[in-house]
Structure 1
Amino acid sequence: MYVNVDLKYVVDVLSSYMNLKDEDFIAYYLCRRGYNPFEVLVAIVLSQNTRDELAMKAFNNLRSVLGVLNPQVILSQSPEVIEDAVRVAGMYRRRTLVIKELARVLINLDSLDKLLTMSVEEVRDLLLSVDGIGYKTVDVFLLMCRGEPVFPVDTHIRRVLKRLGIIEEGDDYLEIQGKVHKLLPPNYYLKAHLILIAHGRTYCKAKKPLCNECPINDLCPKNI
């Protein structure tokens, strides 16, 4: 059941408790440090369904082995070389296939920086043509690297919003995103994305959530 929760207020309350570190969010960390768009996209692929800590290890391993990350270098390597480098992140064969396909799709760009200047629709169409890249990966890139007004939804965010009563069990990605877009001003999307993920990792865990320690315990209807 939908509950009228002030999500902006929730984010503000949580932000006063959370000590966020750039390195806890791999895409945010890399974008703020000027890594090229292809490197950021590879990192986001590595972070799918695993902890950012492991994704960062896999990313650093890959850069250490290859020296530089661009489509040409990726396509010149055997799958085994990439698989071995990213093994720590898990699902290494699947990740290698996605990274290789991403390189094949992007190699024809005049410059990787075109990903920063193309229209949002063009970037979406291009990246979603890669098997293994979905809405969340694209939206993380658009928000982190381009500052576009989109709110990426991950498993932590989905869980937190469901327990707050903001979304329904059966809501799909675009439905959840649409609800958040209505509840938050665009200048809150990045802050809310990071804060809600951190909250899901720290307090609102999938198993044994720490409700008694939760900073928003009095605001949450506890739809667990």
Structure 2
Amino acid sequence: MLKKDRYRAFVEYFSTHNPDAQTELNYSNPFELLVAVILSAQCTDKRINQITPALFERFPVVEALAEASIDEVFAYIRSVSYPNNKAKHLVGMAKMLVENFNGHVPETIEDLVKLPGVGRKTANVISSVVYNRPAMAVDTHVFRVSNRLGLTSRATTPLAVEKQLVKYLPEETIAVAHHWLILHGRYICLARTPKCEICPITYMCKYYETNFLKQKITRPKLKTERK
């Protein structure tokens, strides 16, 4: 299958079967989503959703978080990965929002990556989810699934994956395609043991074609009989 055909099949399938895919992080405004995404680095959405209700109740607005101590924030997020660094990032992020952006979460990638704890992936999430911009956030799921499906080729960095996906996906699908790839990687195309036996898109998958389909159609050679 040619790359353009894979992209077409990918968009057609998910546009039909999961057209309104969304983040699984719980939030009610851009500030809460930014906090949740910063916390979610190398941690599960399930864990983040368990600790953010109390965190948001204590710090309901960015000004409250900006005035908090790092130790106080740490007490609310101690169960996530790298809580010390993330507590520092959250307080620093909130202070910068108040001082430089009038307490509002900025729209552009360039402004977002200035915030403590915000890398390109987090910035792309905010840009696409909050502001519906055609930004592709590449995490481990997106990296793995796009490579296995054959949507990307020879892309060894998240930025290279991002550039290829943005280049070939229809612009209006880029934001939701991020969630298609994440959810497929989270529940079916697992890192160690992909569930190819129940995957509905093996017909477009380069990984399946290479590792399973070709094995099935290749017949073992017959041993030459002795005379």
Structure 2 CA distance, aligned partners of 1:3 and 1:49? 34
Structure 2 CA distance, aligned partners of 1:137 and 1:207? 25
| 1:142 alignment partner, one of 120, 127, 133 | 127
User: Unaligned regions of 5+ residues in structure 2, if any?
Assistant: 212-227
Deviation of 1:134 after TM superposition, in Å, equals: 0.8
2:7 maps to which residue?
7
| 1:190 alignment partner, one of 147, 151, 175 | 175
Deviation of 1:169 after TM superposition, in Å, equals: 5.6
After superposition, the Cα gap between the structure-2 partners of 1:63 and 1:132, relative to the gap in structure 1 and judged at 3 Å, is: closer
Post-superposition Cα deviations, 1:148-178, rounded to whole Å, max 9, x if no partner, equal 1211111101000111223246532222111
| 1:203 alignment partner, one of 188, 194, 206 | 188
Structure 2 CA distance, aligned partners of 1:201 and 1:61? 26
1:108 maps to which residue?
99
After superposition, the Cα gap between the structure-2 partners of 1:100 and 1:146, relative to the gap in structure 1 and judged at 3 Å, is: same
Structure 2 CA distance, aligned partners of 1:114 and 1:52? 21
Deviation of 1:112 after TM superposition, in Å, equals: 3.0
After superposition, the Cα gap between the structure-2 partners of 1:3 and 1:55, relative to the gap in structure 1 and judged at 3 Å, is: farther
| Aligned-partner residue type, residue 69 of structure 1 | V
Matched positions, count: 208
Structure 2 CA distance, aligned partners of 1:58 and 1:109? 28
Post-superposition Cα deviations, 1:121-160, rounded to whole Å, max 9, x if no partner, equal xxx3333223432101001001011111211111101000
Structure 2 CA distance, aligned partners of 1:55 and 1:130? 20
Which structure is higher in RCO with an 8 Å CA cutoff and minimum separation 6? Answer: 1
Structure 2 CA distance, aligned partners of 1:189 and 1:137? 15
Query: Is residue 2:25 matched to residue 1:63?
Result: no
Post-superposition Cα deviations, 1:17-42, rounded to whole Å, max 9, x if no partner, equal 559775x522xx53xx4x1x332211
Structure 1 CA distance, aligned partners of 2:188 and 2:129? 24
What secondary structure does 1:133 align onto? coil
Structure 2 CA distance, aligned partners of 1:114 and 1:86? 21
Contact 1:17–1:215 (CA<8 Å) still a contact in 2? no
Post-superposition Cα deviations, 1:71-98, rounded to whole Å, max 9, x if no partner, equal x322322222211111232221121111
After superposition, the Cα gap between the structure-2 partners of 1:54 and 1:21, relative to the gap in structure 1 and judged at 3 Å, is: farther
After superposition, the Cα gap between the structure-2 partners of 1:19 and 1:210, relative to the gap in structure 1 and judged at 3 Å, is: farther
Name which one, 1 or 2, has greater alpha-carbon Rg: 2
Post-superposition Cα deviations, 1:104-134, rounded to whole Å, max 9, x if no partner, equal 2212146334625xxx3xxx33332234321
Paired residues for 1:164-175 under 5 Å: 164-168=149-153, 170-175=155-160
Structure 1 CA distance, aligned partners of 2:190 and 2:99? 42
Contact 1:14–1:215 (CA<8 Å) still a contact in 2? no
User: Percent of counterpart pairs with the same letter?
Assistant: 25
Indicate the RMSD between aligned Cα atoms, in angstroms.
Answer: 2.6
| Aligned-partner residue type, residue 134 of structure 1 | G
What secondary structure does 1:179 align onto? helix
TM-score, normalised relative to structure 1: 0.81
Contact 1:18–1:198 (CA<8 Å) still a contact in 2? no
Query: Is residue 2:90 matched to residue 1:99?
Result: yes
Structure 2 CA distance, aligned partners of 1:95 and 1:187? 33
